[in-house]
A and B are shown apart, each in its own frame.
Chain A
Amino acid sequence: MVSKSYDDKTHYYGKVWIWTAVLVFILVPVSACVYYNAWPPFISVLKGLLGVAPIFWTVGAIEVITFTPMLGTAGSYLAFVTGNLTNLKVPCAINAMEINEVKSGTEEGEVVSTIAVATSSIVTTLIIAVGTLLLGTLTPVLNSPVLKPAFDNILPALFGALGVVYISKNWKLAATPMLFMIILFISAPSLAGSVGILVPVGAVISILMARLLYKNKMI
């Protein structure tokens, strides 16, 4: 396990940074309201929130429970500020731990996962910043119909490579949740828009199967 003093300090620094981040996030709308002297009617914010909050607050809570064990302490404090968890930070951390042959929850895993999440956050921020500043030049390239299929298929491209590594290692564990999800998405394609909610469903099925197989000494 991670030594106590270092881990405790990580929690302390993580809390300082994440609460400051919450303040920074809130200061964005506050500064816009103050500068333009345009405070929106409370009811319109509430109506807007009602359209997204029930789903995204639930998904957010579930993501914290599902992803923090994989991301480690500092990785979690950072990834839940910089975002893009499923399509970037979690696969990046898991891939880095796999390459270095370390496990999450160990001292080495904590170091590797933090380095991966931090590097990924810096590179993402810089690419978006440079892209935003060079938008005039980049827009025709990024919006070109030739490149569109590549960006439309970024998730299959990521999860194909990532999936084959983990499925080949744990195929007994993978078979049931995979089959369930494939049948579910073929029967109800509209669920593709709420894949975030289905991640914990997959995790629960996978954990139950793991327990069953483990108890019966099949894995």
Chain B
Amino acid sequence: MNFDPNSSFLYLVAVAVILFILAQSLFFLIRAYKRGKEIGMDVKKLRKTITSSAIFTVAPAVSILLGVLTLSKFLGLPLPWIRLSVIGAITYELPAATSTASALGVSISETITSPTVYSAIVWVMTLGILPSTILVPVLLKRIQGGLISIKSKDSKWGDLLISAMFMGMISAFMGMVFSNIRKGLPGWIPIFVMLFSAVLMAVCGLLINVFKIKWLKDYALPICMIGAMIFAIIITPAIS
């Protein structure tokens, strides 16, 4: 059988996976919304959470779409569409595809024509990231049990522990922004963008807390992100 990484069959597989993801997300969304109402949470707040989360998601999602584009040159569209809609990210899928292609002696600069190479890559992409999905049902209750026991002994320390974990993530990503500064002024662009985003957030904080512009609270993060991305478009040509 002739192999086409953009075949109707592979598109059908992609649509099936996407429908599954949407069904799972809708199931938990509706369940949480109902639960929120049951325990007396403000419906307006629940709706605002939906709106603000949706708006926040737009820019990162478009960036994920760019990853689909990058991979599609080699793998066709359906596979990157599947892979980047489920667990995984461009930072994982690209090394997985490259590693398998090089093991098979194939270049990743041209579209795949061999179904065997294709299926090998799909297996590696799938198996290489599966443990994080499998470990959640195995470990989640134990992790939560540990946290509950810490919180019951000392609730302030329990809250501090979660803040500290999040700070660990923030510090790693903020530190990464500094990785190119030895390349001269263009290497500073991500730092300028990060600082601009931070200043925008400080201004938003001022508008919310001092000038009581409460609606801004729900949209501050996406506004700062998109503002900083526009700032990157402006300063990059000027600096480079």
Give the residue among B3, B104, B148 with the most A Cβ atoms within 10 A: B104
What separation, in Å, do the CA atoms of A107 and B32 have in the docked complex?
10
Chain A residues within 8 Å of B103, by CB:
44, 47-48, 51
**Interface contact B173-A155, CB-CB below 8 Å:** yes
**Interface contact A160-B165, CB-CB below 8 Å:** no
Q: Nearest chain-B residue to A203 (Cβ)?
A: B168
**Interface contact B168-A13, CB-CB below 8 Å:** no
User: Number of B residues whose C-beta is below 8 Å from A?
Assistant: 151
Instruction: Assess A22 versus B172: contact at CB under 8 Å? Given A44-B104, A203-B164.
Output: no
Instruction: Assess A115 versus B49: contact at CB under 8 Å? Given A52-B96, A69-B147, A153-B229.
Output: yes
What separation, in Å, do the CA atoms of A129 and B233 have in the docked complex?
26
Give the residue among B64, B124, B168 with the most A Cβ atoms within 10 A: B168
A-B pairs, top 6 by smallest CB distance, nearest first, are A181-B175, A51-B99, A203-B168, A60-B132, A160-B197, A48-B100
Chain B residues within 8 Å of A45, by CB:
100, 120, 123-124, 127
What separation, in Å, do the CA atoms of A77 and B69 have in the docked complex?
28
What separation, in Å, do the CA atoms of A132 and B114 have in the docked complex?
23
What separation, in Å, do the CA atoms of A121 and B76 have in the docked complex?
23
The binding surface of chain B is classed by DSSP as: helix
Q: Nearest chain-A residue to B165 (Cβ)?
A: A203
Chain A nearest CB: distance from B2 CB in Å?
Answer: 9
Q: Which of A108-160 contact B (CB under 8 A)?
A: 108, 110-112, 114-129, 131-132, 135, 138-139, 142-143, 146-147, 149-160
Instruction: Assess A114 versus B161: contact at CB under 8 Å? Given A48-B96, A99-B52, A156-B197.
Output: no
Count class of interface residues, chain A:
35 or more
Q: Beta-carbon contacts of B1-32 to A below 8 Å, as 1s and 0s?
A: 10100000110010011101110111111011
Instruction: Assess A202 versus B169: contact at CB under 8 Å? Given A64-B136, A82-B25, A162-B221.
Output: yes
**Interface contact B32-A74, CB-CB below 8 Å:** yes
8 Å CB contact of A181 from B62, B158, B174:
B174
**Interface contact B175-A182, CB-CB below 8 Å:** yes
**Interface contact A202-B41, CB-CB below 8 Å:** no
Can you list 17 A-B pairs with a CB-CB distance of less than 8 A? A6-B35, A25-B87, A28-B126, A39-B116, A49-B128, A61-B131, A76-B140, A77-B137, A110-B35, A112-B49, A115-B32, A163-B174, A180-B175, A193-B91, A206-B167, A207-B161, A214-B156
Chain B nearest CB: distance from A172 CB in Å?
Answer: 10
Chain A residues within 8 Å of B108, by CB:
none
- Cβ of B198 under 8 Å from chain A: yes
**Interface contact A132-B58, CB-CB below 8 Å:** no
Give the residue among B22, B140, B180, B194 with the most A Cβ atoms within 10 A: B140
Instruction: Assess A70 versus B166: contact at CB under 8 Å? Given A96-B52, A115-B49, A178-B175.
Output: yes
Chain A residues within 8 Å of B66, by CB:
142, 151
What separation, in Å, do the CA atoms of A192 and B46 have in the docked complex?
37
Q: Beta-carbon contacts of B94-116 to A below 8 Å, as 1s and 0s?
A: 01101110111000000000111
Known: A82-B87, A128-B68, A195-B173. 4 other contacts (CB 8 A): A51-B103, A114-B29, A181-B175, A192-B180
